Amino acid sequence: MHPFHTIIEPFRIKSVEGLNLITREERSAALARADFNVFKLHADEVLVDLLTDSGTGAMSAAQWGALMQGDESYAGSRSFYRFERVVRDLTGFKHVIPTHQGRAAERILFHTILHPGDIVPNNTHFDTTRANIEVESAEALDIVIAEGQQPSTLHPFKGNMDVRALEALLARDAERVRLVMVTVTNNSGGGQPVSMANLRAVRALCSRYGKPFFLDACRFAENAWFIKQREPEFEHAPPREIAREMFRLADGCTMSAKKDGLANIGGFLAMNSDEWADQCRTLLILTEGFPTYGGLAGYELEAIARGLEEVVEEPYLRYRIRSTEYLAEKISAAGVPIIQPAGGHAVYLDARALLPHVAPLQYPGIALVNALYKEAGVRGVEIGTVMFGLHSDGTEAPAVMDLVRLAIPRRVYTQSHIDYVAEAVIHVAKMSQHLRGYRITSAPKLLRHFTATFQSLD
């Protein structure tokens, strides 16, 4: 232990990528060309890109080196067996099915096992998870604890599932519940962690009712770090052991390796059920590829295998969670409303609280996202009424919260980038009363936030 308080980035930089410094006028024109939807911007028009932490991380020298070890054999590739060994060792699951990213794992799982009318409870479904359930005419039910829906309420595990609500659901409607999911950390609810105690309680209920329990494990390592920090039983446990314990409680998982796989692409579906795995592999061959590559190159399997080993290292996780918290502290100290406490991978601005004069159906999150881009070149994403407000019956209602997520790519930005972002947010917050809402001019029925076009109500 050394006597210094500064938590440094536990890496040094070997290769750099320049940023394109464009003017406010150029950004204003770019935003208009993009129909006021930041998903349609060219990435070169963005200065600090906090759109997502998914697939945007920097790989380590060891991962780049591992790429050269990729075995591109169609069947039985050495890289697959290395990948399978690492995933099995971490999760303990019997079947490991590679996919090109998380949503492919979701699609394969849900298309294989769901019937119309089934219910899949989760703390909070991510948008692709929800869409992949709804497309099977099943119901994606969110039952996070009440604190998880109150942005300013402090709670160490705001991602916890409401176990009473789950029990009531199972008592009432067990037949319709095909499986129970918990998302760690809870991305759509502010990147908030789920405690081991909560996972144990969900496991116990699933066992009592004979229901499979799956993790949406995209950010399992960040969740493990929060458990280490906040659950005394795990204070001295290595993050890797905590993660293993989390997986041991479940029967399977869907995983996007673009987050805690520290890879730019990839994912997997893993489970213990022989029957479901057989059926999933059949669909995998149809849409992703042979079961030993599942839509990934051998070199990508190598990068993920190495990434899964690095992501549970303590110095990395300490730096990772602290850098998010650092941004949250700066913004919050200036009085900008955010979800408290900070999430693992992102800071979530409470756009509804910051822009009380913009009605939820005029999309305060979009107003804030667009202002942040225009004023400072910082790209965030709306997680609110545009993302979740349109229901499968075509009706629209305000989402539970209107948030703007500033997701931090892994190992990409330095502390001065983060200082700049804090300054930008505070600047935009100061002009918030001048920001106006938007209306949607066109949008698809599913996952509309990616491609919707907007017009300012100014």
Q: Which residues contact 358 (CB under 8 A, 6 or more apart)?
A: 351, 364, 367, 435, 436, 437
Q: Which of 143, 200, 128 is closest to 177 using CA atoms?
A: 143
Shortest Å distance, C-beta 334 to ligand PLP: 28
Q: Which is nearer to ligand PLP, 54 or 160 (CB)?
A: 54
**Alpha-carbon span 165 to 269, nearest angstrom:** 27
Name which of 223 and 340 has its Cβ closer to ligand PLP: 223
Q: Cβ of residue 444: shortest distance to ligand PLP, in angstroms? A: 17
CA distance 432 to 84: 50
Helix, strand, or coil (residue 347)? strand
Which residue, 407 or 452, has its beta carbon nearer to ligand PLP? 407
Site residues for ligand PLP, 389-428, by CB under 6 A, read none
- In 3D space, the residue among 364, 305, 350, 340 whose CA is nearest the CA of residue 153 turns out to be 340
Residue from 79, 160, 183, 340 binding ligand PLP (CB under 6 A) = 183
Q: Among residue numbers 33 through 62, which ones bind ligand PLP (CB under 6 A)?
A: 54
Q: Does 132 bind ligand PLP (CB under 6 A)?
A: no
Q: Residue by residue, what is the 3-state secondary structure of 68-124?
A: CCCCCCCCCCHHHHHHHHHHHHHHCCCEEEEECCHHHHHHHHHHHHCCCCCEEEECC
Question: Does residue 449 touch ligand PLP according to CB under 6 A?
Answer: no
Between β-strands 180-183 and 213-216, what pairing exists: parallel, antiparallel or unpaired? parallel
Q: Find the shortest distance in angstroms from Cβ 252 to ligand PLP.
A: 14
Q: Is 103 in the site for ligand PLP (CB under 6 A)?
A: yes
Encoded tokens for 160 = 């916890």
Q: Residue 267: which residues within 8 A CB-CB, separation 6 or more?
A: 98, 99, 100, 101, 102, 103, 104, 105, 254, 255, 256, 257, 258, 261
Stretch that binds ligand PLP, among 126-134, 165-173, 204-212, 359-367 (CB under 6 A): 126-134
- Report the residue from 45, 71, 136, 216 that binds ligand PLP according to the rule CB under 6 A: 216
Nearer to ligand PLP, 271 or 336 (CB): 271
Among 60, 112, 129, 332, binds ligand PLP (CB under 6 A): 129
Least distance from ligand PLP to the Cβ atom of residue 161, Å: 14
99-107, 132-140, 279-287, 308-316 -> range binding ligand PLP (CB under 6 A): 99-107
- Counting contacts by CB under 6 A, is residue 114 touching ligand PLP? no
Q: How many CB atoms lie within 10 A of CB 405?
A: 27
The reply on whether position 102 binds ligand PLP by CB under 6 A is yes
CA atoms within 13 A on the CB side of 263: 30
In angstroms, rounded to a whole number, what is the distance separating the alpha carbons of residues 303 and 442?
A: 39
- Figure out which of the listed residues 37, 101, 195, 223 binds ligand PLP, where binding follows CB under 6 A: 101
Q: Which residue is nearest to ligand PLP (CB)?
A: 102
Q: Residue for token digits 């009440």?
A: 146
> Which residues have C-beta within 8 Å of that of residue 277, sequence separation ≥ 6?
94, 95, 97, 271
Among 267, 291, 389, 409, binds ligand PLP (CB under 6 A): 267
Instruction: Tell me which stretch binds ligand PLP (CB under 6 A): 25-33, 98-106, 134-142, 395-403.
Output: 98-106
Q: List the Cα angle 169/174/176 in 5-degree steps.
A: 100
Cβ 288 vs Cβ 257: under 8 Å: no
Query: Rule CB under 6 A: which residues touch ligand PLP?
Result: 54, 101-103, 126, 128-129, 183, 187, 216, 218, 256, 258, 267
